[in-house]
Structure 1
Amino acid sequence: MASKFPAPEDFDEQFLTCAICMLNYRDPKILPCLHSFCRECLQEWAAKQQPLECPTCREPVRLPDQGVDGLRTNFYVNNLLDFAAAKKGAEPDHEVVAEETLKAEKDAGKFHRKRHCPKHKNQELVFYCESCNALVCTACTVVDHRPGKDHNPVEIATVTQRRKAELLGLLQDIDPRLKKIQDAVKEVDRKISILIPAKEAATDQAKAYFRKLADLLQKREGEILSQIDEQCRADGKALQAKKEAIEFELAGLTSAQTFCQQAVEHGSDVHVLEVGNQVQTRVETLLAKELDLESDWSEFQFVENTTVVDVKKEVDNFGVVKTNVDVSKCKVAVKPAVRGFQCVAELTTLNKEGRPCFTNSKSVKAKMKNPSGKNLPTEVQMKSRGLWEISYTPEVAGNHSLEVKVNSQQVAGSPFDVDVKGNPVLTIGEGGSGVGELIWPVGVAVDKDGNIAVVERGNKRVQIFDKDTGQSLRSFPVEGENPHSIDVDSEGRFHVTSWGENSGLRRYSKEGELLNTLKPDCMHDPHGVTVLKDGRMVVVDRTQQISCLLLQPDGSLIREIGKGQLQGPAFVSVDESRDVLLVTDKTAHKVFAFDLDGNLKFDFGKEGDNDGEFRKPNGVTTDPAGNIIVGSAEDGRVQVFAPDGTLKQKVGPVKGGFASGVALTPDGYIAVACFRGNCIELYRYM
């Protein structure tokens, strides 16, 4: 239920304070999210921040046409400020009621600033025109809001009671939602309260587990070292005994050798004859003796039954941090991949209920292999709660394999096949007049459904292709000798130019029905065309006017742009968010940038084959970041420039070496009409 205003002394000063300037509100304005700020503060905030967001809740804000002044005034806060000021002995900003009465009352809810009609300054707003949703005064009901079929002024009190009843109904709907949110806050608080104890318990368990593993390893190390010692001692004794036996044989043979040698060299004839037989017998016996001189010991060594590499592979299984993630419910979305560009796959970690669930970064692993089985570096980053981005840059085209694990378990469907494409990623059409075939595609645009619309000069038709598969969806014939350029307006209608005989700008329905033909006196040789959000059009008149014609939706001329500066204009594009009209000039080999008032802002390019130079620049468009994409007619290059005209990147050359119209698909690919190649090519860039 609604409650009375609290007494001024009960007001929280923060309630009357602007969150931007931290002072009491001055002309408070209400944003759609119901947060209020000073009018001047909001104006300064809006001037600094684009796109505009609420300073408190960061909710996107779309200002009315009148800007901040078009926002509702928070009269509730104004009333409280007046009441509080009067109670403190200060003068309110505006007269409300007699000051004595104001100071005598205790209920702020009884006092409101008088609301006067902005048109009839001396009249209070006492009626509400239901047809116009506007507060009006008595004079307005006589002049601008006279009762009748177009206006229905009703006394404010009548409408207010109905509106209050509606708001009371909303208040009743708010209560259960508030309770649900409050319960959720309590549950979060409960989980926060057990977070540290849970961490400590998990830490203790992990330490105990790994201590046991360390103890087992240490015990095994002791056993192995003991075996080595025992083996060394046993082998040492055996080798020593063997050495002693061999040395005994060596001593006997050496002694016999010495005696025999002495007898031969120094014995007398009598002595030789006396001992000769004995020496001969001894030596012959020693020489004939079977000796075992080989040791039967081979060097022992430590053998890794389980290698360190194998253990390292298994270490990930030595315990995990168990979370609420249900690996069987986790999902991986593989995004289109193109060789040489950073590509991504998205992992969503979900709990048992299928809701996004946070887990620590160490628990998410990804491994990518190229077609030859070589590992490709990957990087895993958490983008938001439960959403992870797996990025990689493939070096070759072909089928790659992506393995994704969470908590050492394979995600369902892993490993995933990733088809890495080359650039262009898709080629649409081939030469011919049949369905899906093209002859001299010159202009290209993207329709309201995101599909690719192509103007064929050779077949004198517009053909629509599916942007993902390249399949032909439909086509319709167009009039004029040389159809050239195409664009789509905010209602999905096609605008097609043609030059030569029966030239003009023709507007077709989404189904391809000719709606009307525009050929104002100022337009003689229409080539490039672009349509603004409000229905105005810019058409390139190439050979007679040699300028860009800014036209009203009915085809009437607003102004010429580039007259006397352009030499051979071809295609045109307008970046309305930056008030930049871009036109390619095939004769000057440049791109010119004007504002819609016709002022030259800058130009860039010159004739040449180097990066940033042109050979007859042709199709042009811009992307959401303001980058300028230009195709060249003579060499087929497509170059991407920063908003100031600085070269950033190039792709191509396109098939046939003649880039005509260019457009940007909703998923960020450049669609190029390959005039001589009789196809449309889609390129990844950036």
Structure 2
Amino acid sequence: MASKIPESDFDEQFLTCPVCMLHFRDPRVLPCLHTFCMECLQEWATKQQPLECPTCRTQVSLPDQGVDGLRTNFYVNNLLDFAAAKKGSEPGVSCQVCEGNVEGQKSWCADCGMLLCQSCIAVHRKVPATKHHQMVTQEAINTMGGMEGLERKRHCHKHKNQELVFYCESCNVLVCTACTVVDHRPGKDHNPVEITTVAQKRTEKLRQFLKQIDPRIKEIQDSINEVEKTMSNLIPSKEAATDQAKVYFRQLVDILQKREKEILSHIEEQCRADGKALQTKKEEIEFEFAGLTSAQTFCQQAVEHGSDVHILEVGNQVQTRVETLLAKQLELESDWSEFQFVENTTVAGFQEKSKDFGGVKINVDISKCKLVVKPAVKGFECVAMLTTINKDGRPYITNSKAVDVTANMKDTFGRNVQTKLQMKSMGEWEISYTPKITGNHRLEVKVNSQRVARSPFTVKVQGREKPVLTIGRKGSGVGELDGPVGVAVDKDGNIVVVDQGNKRVQIFDAETGGSLCWFPVDGGRPYGVDVDSKGRIFVTSYGSNCGVRCYSKKGELFNTFKPDCMKQPRGVAVLRDGRMVVADSKQQSCLLLQPDGSLIREIGKGQLQFPQFMAVDATHDAMYVTDRSEQNIFVFGLEENKEFGMGRQGHFDRQFQSSPEGVALDAAGNIIVGEHDGHVRVFGPDWSYLQSVTKADGNYVSGLALTPDGKYLLVSRFHGDCIEVYRYM
């Protein structure tokens, strides 16, 4: 314990709950090490599920007791006591028990956390329950720099008068002397050790962690400083780029305006020249017109009003004039053609070309950009993920406008396949498409008009009846399987497999199929598996030492459940509230168990003969159970032993072609059935046949599981020693 309390710890903010903004009341520590009042957390938990830390938004998995089960922050409690004691030692502060006796010496009861006057102290020491409480005088409080004499003693919740002085290493709990005699007696199941001994070891461990934290903090602080330095250059960089862009586009505008003036001047000059030529043409035609109309008038007057003598005198002259005028070759039509403005570059074309008029220079390295093509199946929306990488080999963080990404796909016949681009996160792009035929497709991806490395990519599109991924092969090595039975998906989306022949559980990456880890399992022959919301793995085993065992992802055994009624457990399903349903082939029923493994009731007794696997529809309180002997699927209610219905063996709709083994439910309530002959089929909620996922191939299907998004179906092939992954939705 430190001899002196850091002054920073007495800061009001340190002692104030971030939720209610008051001094902590019963401070509780979340797994993320942030502290809040218990009441505040309880209220917060009622408004939010799952619970998130109000400060850092880390998702919190509460213990079984809820907020009450969280650890108390005793250091904060002690600080509050120390602050209260210091304040109480000041002149003019009354006794907190009798609320009088302002004058006179007072003492602080470290056990009660209260300031008492001399009279109350005398009474306090006479009461059996408080006579051994530690009292600290006012003078000692004024002189002390630490909390050694003020820390409250912790008492056993079961033996109220007993102080917690031992720590049971087997149970990870603090216990009193009485507990070491009754509930935590030293032996194979309990190992109580003095607190001081354990605390010294833990303190040394924490010191080691502190040594590791310091350089990491320095590294992070250096990174923050570097980011801040970069941020300080952000605005000047933006202003410089903005000024350059403005100058550039002003120059482009000037060029366009200059060109506009030139074109308008050309139009004006052409108009003047054409107008002058047309005027001259018009005058020539008008002159001829005047001469002809004059001759017409003279000739008409002679004909209508002239005497014979007049006709004879002027006739020849008129004839000669008219013949001359009529014989004269005159271009009556105008040789002018209408001029108009011609768009050598269309507006749409210019708009497209304008994309090349400048840009934002970014730090993307085209040669390092990565494209991951997810399995492609005909008729389904498929995706490829592009990650833009900078010159340092890290994902390039930017907005969608700073990077121009294009994707073009052609099918096996060279026809275009429509693609859609969407930026999922900074630096990551999703390219989605729906192929209509199988075969090799080609996907060309460009970033800022440049092809990324290895583009165009070959994308193999296959039919839905073939697995997009096959995991494992016969063997006992890492990644190998020997008789896989149960299969499940953990909260991280990884595939959890019961490797029966090797008596172990293997966890595989759902994207690559690579083995992430494995651990051995106890008991006889492991069979079923399920994963709860906390990531704990539940494995059944039948034969010798049968039971249901709960493991961590790393293989740490948390608990073993084996009620007296359990004989040969097969499949297992863990409900949201922690209860379990276990199919027991020897008991010929399904066992509904409490989270502690105690029996609630048997389901299907007298109807089931050899139950194998089950799937639970919690929304409709229904459980689907495959029965090998009856070659059927039974449907029961969870809360009462009510049978909903069943299938029948046969060769028509609502019937199975061989014994049903694995079973799963999709989000629409459809029933997916894996059969002994290798057939995997899908039935509607009314048992109408919908489709086949795989055809019968004689390869026994055991477990089935859907990925959390419902897009992929996992099929455990017992004799094929593998897990097959099929596109489902």
Structures share fold, TM-score greater than 0.5: yes
Q: Give the equivalent residue in structure 2 for 1:4.
A: 4
1:108 and 2:146 are equivalent in the alignment = yes
Deviations 1:601-634 (A, max 9, x none): x979999xxxxxx9469875246xx65332599x
Q: Aligned runs of 1:455-470 on 2, under 5 Å?
A: none
After superposition, residues 582-597 of structure 1 pair within 5 angstroms as: 582=624, 592=635, 594-595=637-638
Alpha-carbon shift at residue 165 of structure 1 (Å): 3.6
Q: Distance in 2 between matches of 1:165 and 1:570?
A: 50
Letter in 1 for 2:602: E
Partner of 2:547: none
Structure 2 contact 572–614 (Cα < 8 Å) conserved: no
Matched, 1:216 2:240: no
For 1:332 and 1:536, the matched residues in 2 are separated by 42
Change (3 A) 1:535 1:78: closer
Partner SS state of residue 13, structure 1: coil
Check whether the contact 2:381–2:435 (CA below 8 A) recurs between aligned residues. no
| TM-aligned CA deviation for residue 594 of structure 1 | 2.8
- 1:199 — aligned with what? 238
Q: Over residues 46-71 of structure 1, what are the superposed CA-to-partner deviations in whole Å (9 max), with x where a residue is unaligned?
A: 45544343332223334445554544
Tell me the secondary structure at the aligned position of residue 341 of structure 2: coil
Matched to 1:305, the amino acid is: N
Partner of 2:222: 183
Q: Which amino acid aligns with 1:218?
A: Q
Is the contact between residue 562 and residue 598 of structure 1 (CA under 8 Å) also seen in structure 2?
Answer: no
Q: What is the rounded CA distance, in whole Å, between the counterparts of 2:239 and 2:56 in structure 1?
A: 35
Q: C-alpha displacement at 1:29, in angstroms?
A: 2.9
How far the C-alpha of 1:214 sits from its partner, in A, is: 1.4
* Identical-residue share of aligned pairs (%): 58
In 2, the alpha carbon distance for the partners of 1:183 and 1:446 equals 45
Q: Is the 8 A contact 1:79 1:108 kept in 2?
A: no
Equivalent of residue 388 in structure 1, options 428, 437, 447? 428
Partners of 2:497 and 2:529 within 8 A in 1: no
Deviations 1:471-516 (A, max 9, x none): xxxxxxxxxxxxxxx95567898999xxxxxxxxxxxxxxxxxxxx
The match for 1:378 among 416, 420, 437 is 420
Per-residue CA distance 1:402-433 (angstroms, 9 max, x = gap): 6655556554455656566665675999xxxx
Q: CA deviation at 1:581?
A: 2.9
Name the amino acid aligned to 1:352: K
Question: 1:628 — aligned with what?
Answer: 669
8 Å CA contact 1:335–1:345 kept in 2: the answer is: yes
CA distance in 1, matches of 2:188, 2:633: 58
Which residue number in structure 2 is paired with residue 669 of structure 1? 712
Higher mean C-alpha deviation, range 17-26 or range 145-154? 145-154
Aligned equivalents of 2:191 and 2:636: distance in 1?
51
Select between 337-346 and 104-113 the one with higher mean Cα deviation. Answer: 337-346
Give the drift of 1:215.
1.7
C-alpha separation between the residues in 1 aligned to 2:12 and 2:566? 65
Q: Which residue of structure 1 lines up, in the alignment, with residue 59 of structure 2? A: 60
1:312 aligns with 2:371: no
Structure 2 counterpart of 1:354, one-letter code: G
Q: Look up the equivalent residue of 1:390 and give its one-letter code.
A: E
Kept after mapping to 1: 8 A contact 2:654/2:683:
no
1:73 aligns with: 72
Distance change in 2, residues 1:143/1:603 (3 Å):
closer
Q: Distance in 1 between matches of 2:291 and 2:447?
A: 76
CA distance in 2, matches of 1:593, 1:23: 52
Give me the CA root mean square deviation. Answer: 5.8
Instruction: Write out per-residue CA displacement over residues 2-53 of structure 1, whole angstroms, 9 at most, x where no aligned residue.
Output: 6721469x71233223334444333333333222233444455445544343
Q: Kindly tell me: are residues 606 and 165 of structure 1, through their superposed partners in 2, closer, same or farther at Cα, counting changes over 3 Å?
A: closer
Is the Cα–Cα contact under 8 Å of residues 635 and 646 in structure 2 kept in the other structure? no
Q: Match for residue 573 of structure 2?
A: 532
1:98 is aligned, of 128, 135, 160, to: 135
* Gaps in structure 2 of 5+ consecutive residues: 89-95, 97-107, 113-132, 471-483, 499-507, 514-526, 532-536, 543-563, 675-679, 717-723
1:17 — aligned with what?
16
Moved more, 237-246 or 49-58: 49-58
Separation in 2, partners of 1:269, 1:110: 157
Q: Note if contact 1:539-1:548 (Cα within 8 Å) is conserved in structure 2.
A: yes
CA distance in 2, matches of 1:328, 1:387: 15
For normalisation by structure 1, the TM-score amounts to 0.67
How far does the alpha carbon of each residue in 1:263-314 deviate from its partner, in whole angstroms, 9 at most, with x for none?
Answer: 5565554444444444444444444444444543322222222222221112
TM-score by length of 2: 0.64
Which has the larger displacement, 308-317 or 92-101? Answer: 92-101
Cα offset, 1:351, TM superposition: 2.5
Pairing of 1:157-306 with structure 2 (within 5 A)? 157-260=196-299, 267-306=306-345
Q: What is the distance in 2 between the residues matched to 1:303 and 1:598?
A: 84
The CA deviation at 1:73 is 2.8
Structure 1 residue 536 displacement after superposition:
7.0
Gap runs ≥5 in structure 1: 430-442, 454-464, 471-485, 497-519, 608-613, 674-679
CA contact (8 A) 2:663 2:671 kept: yes
Q: 1:627 to 1:569 in 2, by over 3 A?
A: farther
Distance 2:707 2:86 in 1: 63
Following the alignment from structure 1 to structure 2, what is the Cα–Cα distance between the partners of residues 134 and 27? 19
Please give the alpha-carbon distance, in whole angstroms, between the structure 2 residues aligned to 1:411 and 1:328.
Answer: 6
Q: 1:224 to 1:640 in 2, by over 3 A?
A: farther
Residue matched to 2:555:
none
